[in-house]
Amino acid sequence: MAEDDGWSDIFSRILSERVEPHLGHGRLTMLDRYPAVEAALARSCAGDPREAERFEVYACGVELANGFGELTDAAEQRRRFEAEMDEKARVYGERYPLDGEFLAALEIMPEASGIALGFDRLVMLATAVPRIDDVLWTPVP
């Protein structure tokens, strides 16, 4: 851990190093209701705004899919982006401009949700390779 690691850094590290490798052995496993700070584009849960409508599906220690209820509240998304840029400025000393077109599109977007399934991760499971780099069709620099 770094001296300036925040709660989110610690959560992510524990999840990826200590929890995820043990998920989905013997049956598919789903993690549901992530901390809101770990789901920047997901809407908050109605019963508890500290949680977000986000889930991940695991098999054999591999994350196969990531899904969430889309945050369509432009003002809330702007607030989250600004908080992320404040943290980026604190840690790296730089900021990026907010995507105004994206925020404007949210204002007219209906409620939605989605899920992304990683084909490369399915290939990992089918071929029993331990690293995603072993199945990518083109090298990643």
pLDDT by residue (tens digit) across 40-58? Answer: 899 999 999 999 999 999 9
DSSP string, 32-51: EEEEGGG-TTBPBPSS-TTE
Where does residue 132 rank: exposed (0-12), middle (13-18), buried (19+ CB within 10 A)?
Answer: middle
Give mean pLDDT, residues 126-135.
Answer: 89
DSSP string, 106-126: HTTPPP-EEEEE-HHHHHHHH
Which pairs from 97-102 meet CB under 8 Å and 24+ separation?
102/77
For residue 38, report the phi and psi dihedrals to the nearest 5 degrees: -100, 15
Of 5 and 10, which is predicted with more confidence?
10
Please report, for residues 24, 122, 125, the alpha-carbon distance to residue 132 in angstroms, rounded to integers and kept in the order given: 17, 10, 10
Rounded Cα distance, 69 and 53, in Å: 5
**Res. 73: pLDDT tops 80:** yes
Q: Where are the domains of the chain?
A: 7-72+110-133
pLDDT by residue (tens digit) across 100-111? Answer: 999 999 999 999
Q: Looking at residue 139, what is its pLDDT?
A: 72
